[in-house]
Amino acid sequence: MSRPVSYNLIQKPLEKDISVAPLPDGHQGEGFFATSLDSVIGMARKNSIWPLPFATSCCGIEFMATMGSHYDLARFGSERVGFSPRQCDLLMVMGTIAKKMGPVVRQVYLQMAEPRWVIAVGACASSGGIFDTYSVLQGIDQVVPVDVYVPGCPPRPEAIIDGVLRIQDLVGKESLRRRNGEEYKALLNSYGIQ
């Protein structure tokens, strides 16, 4: 028996033809708008994140659905998936990373330019998942620093979108000095990255 399909049950009137990112806090008057450089750059960066998918297994399939027209990550300014680490801002590691793949993930991370962010999608990338075995890396945070973990085995596209939105929050609020700070250098040093 075929499943009844219904969509667009709730008709939403189109409010605006073009959606615009909300203004950051600041002072506004006739012909001028004053705010901090941090928040302008944060707003620009967070709405134009270029993801680099590093997909090794089933979480990668969920990511493909996320990029597809149904879930459409492009709505959040991330439609430009890059396959060169040098052009990308967000490394999305999706799937089981074997110990032999660990150095590859690390090299891809090293090839990305600052500022860069990492999201670990799914149980395997976050913790090794069900593969508690001699050959599998027990979480990619053993080789690269991770900003956001998305749980699930595999996570649904909604969860991946939520993870990207958490990254957007981080990107939007990040201080411009963070990447030059001692704390950040200490973090990279703990991974042996200069």
Partner 1 sequence: MALTTLNIQQRIQEKFGESVSAVVDSYGLLEITAPRELNLKVLNFLYDDAALQFQFLTDLTGVHYPSQKGSELAVVYHLHSLKENVRIRFKIFAPIEQPEVYTATGLFSAANWMERETYDFFGILFVGHPNLKRILNVDEMDYFPLRKEFPLEDQTRIDKDDEMFGRGGTIK
Per CB under 8 A, residues contacting partner 1 are 99-100, 127-128, 132-136, 138
Q: Contact, 50 vs 82, CB < 8 A? A: yes
CB of 103 to partner 1, least distance (A): 9
CB of 99 to partner 1, least distance (A): 5
Q: CB nearer to partner 1: give 8 or 135.
A: 135
| Pair 183, 175: CB distance under 8 Å | no
d(CA 86, CA 108): 9
State which residue, 77 or 145, has the beta carbon closest to partner 1. 145
Choice between 51 and 128, CB closer to partner 1: 128
Distance CA 95, CA 93 (A): 7
Q: Closest by alpha carbon to 62, among 145, 144, 160, 147?
A: 160
Provide the minimum distance between the beta carbon of 154 and partner 1 in the complex, in angstroms, as a whole number.
Answer: 21
For residue 169, what are its two tokens?
């929050």
Q: What are phi and psi of 19, to 5 degrees?
A: -95, 140
**Shortest distance in whole angstroms from residue 187 CB to partner 1:** 19
CB of 36 or CB of 133, closer to partner 1: 133
